[in-house]
């Protein structure tokens, strides 16, 4: 168990690098693409990349106090006692990813974009609610990622419709 805790600590230190916060929403794009193409392998690879992306960047030399405060709350949340309600609330993460994959698997562009927007909005709301003031640190990365995802999905939709028509 010490090895796992040491690894998680090492990884979480690198997650303080704000660059990892900006790239994480972008993983929704290949996730949606592979769901659209009905590639389970592509979806799994994308999820593995998403899960590991928090430690792709070096530990930052200086840390924004809001980032530090938010991640301290997140660490406490993850390492704290897991109650039934906490399990239920946390299950929204895999359920929302399933809903996103299902929407694009079924080629439902409107539902897919709705789910992407709900994921971003709920992430921001939960972050601010759960951590107070430090949760505002996620707003800019989340909404920049959301804008890029919305634009990319819209362009992909237009490309597919133009190609089909």
Query: Cα(29)–Cα(32) distance, rounded to whole angstroms?
Result: 5
Tell me the pLDDT tens digit for each residue of 5-34.
Answer: 888 888 888 888 888 999 999 999 999 999
Tell me the pLDDT tens digit for each residue of 109-128.
Answer: 999 999 999 999 999 999 99
Give the residue extent of every domain in the chain. Answer: 2-164
For 57, phi then psi, to 5°, come to -100, 155
Query: Cα(24)–Cα(50) distance, rounded to whole angstroms?
Result: 6
Tell me the pLDDT tens digit for each residue of 65-93.
Answer: 998 899 899 889 988 999 999 999 999 99
Q: What band does 105 get if pLDDT is binned at 50, 70 and 90?
A: very high
């Amino acid at each position: 168990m010490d090895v796992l805790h040491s690894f998680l600590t090492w990884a979480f230190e690198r997650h303080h690098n704000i660059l990892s916060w900006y790239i994480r929403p972008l993983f929704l794009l290949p996730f949606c693409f592979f769901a659209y193409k009905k590639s389970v392998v592509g979806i799994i690879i994308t999820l593995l990349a998403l899960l590991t992306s928090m430690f792709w960047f070096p530990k930052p030399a200086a840390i924004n106090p809001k980032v530090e405060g938010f991640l301290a709350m997140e660490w406490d949340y993850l390492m704290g006692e897991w109650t039934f309600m906490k399990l239920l609330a946390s299950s929204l993460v895999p359920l929302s990813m399933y809903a996103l994959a299902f929407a694009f698997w079924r080629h439902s562009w409107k539902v897919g974009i709705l789910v992407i927007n709900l994921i971003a909005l709920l992430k921001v709301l939960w972050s601010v609610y759960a951590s107070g003031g430090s949760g505002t640190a996620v707003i800019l990365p989340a909404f920049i990622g959301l804008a890029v995802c919305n634009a990319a999905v819209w362009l992909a939709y237009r490309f597919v419709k133009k190609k089909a028509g």
